[in-house]
Amino acid sequence: MNGEALYLNFSVTITKTPTRKYYASLLFDTKQETPEVVLTGKVIGIDLGLKDFCITHDGEKHLKYNHPRHLKKHQKNLARKLALLARKKKGSISRQKAPQLVARIYERISNARQDFLHKLSRKIVNDNQVVVVENLNIKSMVYNHKLAKAISDVGWGMFVNFLDYKLQQKGSLLIEIDRWFPSSKTCCNCLYQMSEMPLEMREWTSPNCGTHHDRDENVGKNIRAEDIRQLSVLEGLLLFVQRPVGKEGKSEQKVGLIN
């Protein structure tokens, strides 16, 4: 190590969970530089949903990833534990222990959700250089009481965060498309835009070109196409810096994004 410190600004945070487990979170600076963003490579568009967790489109094929429905799998067991808690006499020892039984179920649900999101985000990041998602207003969406539980269960926000930091570590790029971009109402073939597209309409046909669409597949294609348009703008911001190298005065080109 030659007397040099491996880590800087080291700190530890101890947290206790409702199930009485203790975790130590270590925060430190490894002095590693973030890789420079490279725009060349595979581009994939992701449509997040409730029926399927997400549908991806890379310009050639689309893939559907099923929604694991973690909360639904534990719903009956959770209901039993909540009913058991309600029957316990207030102030009794069993009443004090019962909340831990409920907390353990919620912990299993949370762990299963994070495991799924970590594995899927890692797969997508490993296979692609640029990932595009919609900038969803999740806080407003959960006000829909019919969908609030399902939206909270999928973990869209956590998934996008996982994608973001993993892409940064790789020198890749996450692009979030404006939430008002009409990805579901626009035909990916002729760009005809429907005036309305209710949530229950899962398939539709463009009245302009006659192309029949699966709603989610069409969204994935439109998101990817919008990303490519934005990438063309980013590429216009690339800065080419020439600097002399060596005694002979040869030069090299360094490519990077203007901050």
Q: How far apart are CA 228 and CA 197, in angstroms?
A: 24
Partners of 195 in the β-ladder? none
CA distances from 223 to 21, 154, 176, 184 (A): 42, 20, 9, 9
Q: 153 catalytic, yes or no?
A: no
Question: Within a 10 A sphere around the Cβ of 85, how many other Cβ atoms?
Answer: 16
Q: Which of 33, 52, 214, 216 is catalytic?
A: 216
Candidate list 29, 33, 47, 227, residue with the active-site label:
47
Could you say which DSSP state residue 3 is in? T
**Quick check: 229 and 188 in contact, CB under 8 A?**
no
Question: Quick one: which H or E segment has residue 55?
Answer: strand 52-57
How many angstroms separate the CA atoms of 151 and 142, rounded? Answer: 7
Of 66, 69, 46, 50, the C-alpha closest to 199 is 50
* Helix residue ranges, H only, 60-212: 70-73, 75-87, 93-127, 138-141, 148-154, 156-170
203 belongs to the catalytic site = no
Quick one: tokens of 138?
A: 């999740």
Nearest to 38 by CA among 156, 129, 103, 102: 129
**Which of 152, 139, 136 is closest to 72 using CA atoms?**
152
36 catalytic per annotation: no
Residue of 58, 60, 134, 252 marked catalytic: 134
Q: Just list the catalytic residues.
A: 47, 134, 216
